[in-house]
Amino acid sequence: MENLYKELRSFFANDIDVNDLFDSEAIIWIDWREYDEDVVNYFNDMMDEPIDIQIVSNGKPYGDDIVLKNGNKELQIPYGDEQDRDVTIKYFNDFV
């Protein structure tokens, strides 16, 4: 993880080219057709201590909700009428 921070620092200090940054592991590319739990797994793959994920039934047409867990901390991502990658990313970031 420390190497990712160094790459980003180098980019913002103009030491590396934007194309090199795009080719690095510091960027997570998300296809917006992906399932939300896959997006969470992409972030988890980059973390030293991954967040536990639980899928819970909610009876809504869009499918199940995602619950993030870490120790005593727990958050059910508050989707509105549909699952949305933006909401998933925002709440995962806030949770971490």
pTM of the entire predicted model: 0.74
Alpha carbon 72 to chain centroid distance? 20
Whether 43 and 71 map to the same domain: the answer is yes
Structure letter (DSSP) for residue 51: P
Whether 51 and 91 map to the same domain: the answer is yes
- For the stretch 27-86, pLDDT in tens is 787 888 888 899 999 999 988 899 999 999 888 888 899 999 999 999 999 998 888 889
DSSP for 15-34 reads -S-HHHHHHSTT-----TTS
Surface-to-core class of residue 40, CB atoms within 10 Å of its CB (0-12 exposed, 13-18 middle, 19+ buried): buried
Tokens of 78: 């508050």
Whether 61 and 94 map to the same domain: the answer is yes
Q: What total of structural domains would you count in the chain? A: 2
Whether 41 and 22 map to the same domain: the answer is no
Whether 43 and 68 map to the same domain: the answer is yes
Whether 59 and 86 map to the same domain: the answer is yes
